[in-house]
Structure 1
């Protein structure tokens, strides 16, 4: 497997050299990142059965390399390949996971697509090396049609944080290091009858037929608003939804919602909906406010409610977030052309959960960027009479070189 991957990398790099002579035919881009994290945990939250198993703090590191290659043999045809290579070391590699929780090896060594394109070269007590191809597609297009087959991202979402309409490719908002977001092994057909409307069909088969996903989406524009309507099948549920994007007196206003109808008696119906307002002030400050309702969200505080928000984990669109009611607000400001600061807060009013995540980014050179991120979690402590205390947090530092 290592020889095959090395051969593919050689082909991609050779294609990038050839692209200098015929840039209209091929395109190669990517990046290399160094990401370090310091994780800390409030020992008051550790239950007796985990005493001694959970460290108060630990560090993890990874080198993340990505290649994206595209080939355009003609105006109608194009092909794309995208791959992630990540080398991990630190506490999560050298130590066993908590009882009942998946370890890093288990989180990485799975591919939910029809074809397994995830490869773990070795897993030792020191390092772990993983490669996954998250894009592998061919596309044909004309003036009114686009047909794409293969591993791709079918993005039907509208909002920035939560996307109930995105039945094919949900993503984890807290996994900021994965800008491209996951893909699906799917067929996507887009038809453009006029400049205001689009009709889409998507189908992502699964190894177990009942776990397949299929949908139809219609987009149109009326009254200076973009509207969309969708219906489909999602893993033994029928689903229908709608979304919109427009503005009210210069304030951006958008939202989306889906309802799920179970086809099995033991299944649960659910409604998820999110809406958002955003505004760019004249002096450069950007602000947004969002709300999410998830009918299947947790109604009581729990120590592991945040567990599904970690990197390499993605919840499905039917149960899109761990909590029933969640508010999100964010503000961002470009201090200088090279330096930007953002601050976000999530709050669940019924459970008193708070998530803080400020970020600082700085452009060191044309192709080199630095990023500092904090994700800090506050919740009720069932071991301390439900007192609201800080639970855990992670400080991330990252350098990214793009090419």
Structure 2
């Protein structure tokens, strides 16, 4: 599996879109160039500069083999070339990137030099068997149990960080998923995820079940299972009120043992969104975490690799808001923000997107953090990005 990533580019040479009757192989993906200008809130020790910059060339390849009517195989890889001042000034950034949270290590730095490195990772590798009402998927896959668009307390297998906007596919898990469709809009699902704790060199497994169904024109789900240190129970819903989306999730984490170092937690989020007649889109959400603090939450990481459904934020409360509007069919704008009402820190994210062609997109965005020292967002600084993406 670890060697397969080096042969993925060769699949591009056999990519054929015609002859749909005989086509059993498909390849698609994208190439992106992302430039970042970052200005830290406080001076960085050992660096005689008031800002940092970097460039990322990101290629993704998604391969599918429809072997039979029942079996489908998939391999997806991301190859990234990092360069610039940020990599030159922080040699350990390469180690930060070269980490694989799964049980199998499918991540590798292929080549590196002063101020640059090339990294490759397989983040999807699964086989799917579907027959009748049964569907079984084994391998590295995304187990998406989240309902809300920003925070997902029900996403206990592969939680994602909202600020990692350039990773649209989001993390996956090394897991076995068994799903049985009990009806047109209902299903029962059991997932077993195996994960290795590198610090203690032991297995940390998560196993949980979910039941989904529709009632009163709403979609509901209930889940339960156990994580490495906690039992988890939860549920969520998705529907609409007067044409506007209405979603919610809640998860309750209960420690398996009293002296395990884990604490009981209740995490919940509720959100609503609405598209007006003039195409203006509005979205708002609230997050509650019983383990969060109500004072200064303390500075969080820019990209938090330790984020989990139990620790979506160090604060007790968080608010989110977003407005989006298509100025023309090809040009759109968005403005999002977060607020920690307890310590007054905030985040603002303006975004402009322009479609240059059918498969070519240009985007400019920012991640602007404000607040006092010791607050959740106050010490993260400000970052500006420019991105060109070509999909194929």
Common fold: TM-score over 0.5: yes
Length, aligned pairs only: 384
Per-residue deviation at 1:225?
Answer: 0.8
Structure 1 segment 324-339 matched on structure 2, within 5 A: 324-339=316-331
- Does the Cα contact within 8 Å between 1:343 and 1:358 map onto a contact in 2? yes
- Corresponding residue for 2:165? 176
Q: CA RMSD in A?
A: 2.2
1:8 is aligned to 2:8: yes
Misfit runs of 4+, over 6 Å = none
- Does the Cα contact within 8 Å between 2:345 and 2:378 map onto a contact in 1? no
Structure 2 residue aligned with 1:74, among 68, 76, 79? 68
1:143 is aligned to 2:132: yes
- Does the Cα contact within 8 Å between 1:172 and 1:314 map onto a contact in 2? no
> 3-state DSSP class of the match of 1:205?
strand
Structure 1 segment 208-287 matched on structure 2, within 5 A: 211-264=204-257, 265=259, 266-287=261-282
Structure 1 segment 8-27 matched on structure 2, within 5 A: 8-10=8-10, 12-17=11-16, 20-22=18-20, 24-27=23-26
Per-residue deviation at 1:4?
Answer: 5.7
Structure 2 residue aligned with 1:204, among 190, 193, 205? 193
> 3-state DSSP class of the match of 1:194?
coil
Write the deviation string for residues 297-319 of structure 1: whole angstroms up to 9, x where unpaired: 344326x6232x42x73501111
Structure 1 residues 319, 3: closer, same or farther in 2, change over 3 A? Answer: closer
User: Comparing both structures, which one devotes a greater share of its residues to helix?
Assistant: 1
Tell me how far apart the structure 1 counterparts of residues 380 and 221 of structure 2 sit (CA, whole Å).
39
- Does the Cα contact within 8 Å between 2:299 and 2:380 map onto a contact in 1? no
Tell me how far apart the structure 2 counterparts of residues 184 and 296 of structure 1 sit (CA, whole Å).
25
Tell me how far apart the structure 2 counterparts of residues 259 and 80 of structure 1 sit (CA, whole Å).
34
Per-residue deviation at 1:114?
Answer: 1.5
Write the deviation string for residues 79-108 of structure 1: whole angstroms up to 9, x where unpaired: 1010000000112211137xxxxx322222
- Corresponding residue for 2:150? 161
- Does the Cα contact within 8 Å between 1:136 and 1:152 map onto a contact in 2? yes
Write the deviation string for residues 8-62 of structure 1: whole angstroms up to 9, x where unpaired: 321x224423x5335641111011100000001234xx5xxx6554842111111
Tell me how far apart the structure 2 counterparts of residues 247 and 20 of structure 1 sit (CA, whole Å).
41
Q: Which moved more, 1:104-113 or 1:241-250?
A: 104-113
- Does the Cα contact within 8 Å between 2:5 and 2:121 map onto a contact in 1? no
Tell me how far apart the structure 1 counterparts of residues 126 and 86 of structure 2 sit (CA, whole Å).
33
Tell me how far apart the structure 2 counterparts of residues 262 and 55 of structure 1 sit (CA, whole Å).
46
Q: Which moved more, 1:207-216 or 1:81-90?
A: 207-216
- Corresponding residue for 2:182? 193
Q: Please, which runs of 5 or more residues in structure 1 have no aligned partner?
A: 98-102
* Normalised TM-score (structure 1): 0.90
Write the deviation string for residues 115-135 of structure 1: whole angstroms up to 9, x where unpaired: 110011133222111000000
1:367 is aligned to 2:356: no
